[in-house]
Structure 1
Amino acid sequence: MYNKERVAAIIAAAGSSERMHGVDKIFAHLGNRPVLARAVFPFECAEVVDRIIVVLSPDNLAAGEALSDSEKWGKVTDIIPGGERRQDSVQQALDRLADDDIKWVIIHDGARPLVRVEQIEDGMTAVQATGAAVCAVPVTDTIKLAGENSFIQETPDRSHLWNAQTPQIFRYDLIRRAYDAASGTVTDDSILVERLGVPVKLYKGSPANVKITTPESLAAAEIIVRRHAE
């Protein structure tokens, strides 16, 4: 069973916060805690997770170390600088795991601070099917596929559409193989596994598992935090 095999979590938090109007989203306060602290906390709590690597922009390394000390992170073994792209940051973290007997890797966006332990556990169950699993929620809006001139080309059946989230969980050997074969820029890790022809299992996440990308999304996350505190 997976709980007898070593599991590492990678928290990818080296983004540039370009749409945050000068606010660093990773260290912005959500409730009374930084976004990054909230993102790491469920992985610290999850019994299945043995090791955590946090990837930050080079300018944030000192702040990350200070936060680790204040939060008393016990599973965080590495706080490392990220690369130019998100996938470069994940690749560097995967390289750090090469000397460890890791069977499973959980990749999570540091800008998703409201993930729950249950979503980590559900993912570890789902990933047993093929070695690759992605947290996601069914699409509720009608989606339009448009051409370059902004005219609608197609309206896909939304019953088959999901919004991908993180955590995304993989067998370590599989995600390493996917990254070794990577070309171009991708928006999430599962795309690289899909390119290998490996089936990726979707498991249900939560609309509350929001990603902080704008001041508006930070405000929405604040509402969720306050609601859960009531």
Structure 2
Amino acid sequence: MNIFTEKKIFLDSETVAEQLRSRRQELGLKLEKIAKEISINFKYLEALEKGNFNLLPAGVYGKNFLREYAVYLKIDYRPLVKMFEKETAGSNQRQQRELFSKQVVKAHHLLAMPKIIKSIILVVVVGICLFYLSYRLKQITAVPSLNIQTPADNLITKEKSVSVTGIAEAESQLIINGESVISDTNGSFVKEVDLKKGINIISITAQKKYGRSATIKKQILVE
């Protein structure tokens, strides 16, 4: 009876890691052998014996590893699990305090930066914003690109129609002789235009939604 009581007091006075390590050494067992027999990675058993609980998998896995290891060593795992929960809770609180301290230090360093460095950073940020805004404004207000591939300038033909082909700036509205023409995703388009005898003027316009337009006119003589 006395021996049991002394053993219990001894265990309660030690950490989880110390109890596991002491019991294993008392039994004369190697950690590598135990890892193979209970199918738990050696590094996790080592973490348990060294008290590095932050190296264990998150959630209930750490507790399960502890329980299996304790059962193998013939230690009552229930008080060990309670101690494990207390020790890990304290470790988590320390980590949170350390993280908070680091954030406070970073904020302090930022506030302690020389004013000239802060001014330079502010100028750079404002400059980047202004550059982006001017670039976007230029895109919106610029004349859309428009390239007519056919027909050629001042074409003379006997045909009653002609194919108008070309490439306009993507997403611009295309109009040929007052009719809307749909282009593909690359801006390419094809439109068959009827011709009459004499001089024919074909007007091709690319219009941006919120910007300017570009117009090209082709003159065709039908004999």
Question: How high is the TM-score relative to the length of structure 1?
Answer: 0.22
Q: Whose radius of gyration is greater, 1 or 2?
A: 2
Higher relative helix content = 2
TM-score (norm: length of structure 2): 0.22
Identify which of structures 1 and 2 has the higher relative contact order when contacts are C-alpha pairs closer than 8 Å and 6+ apart: 1
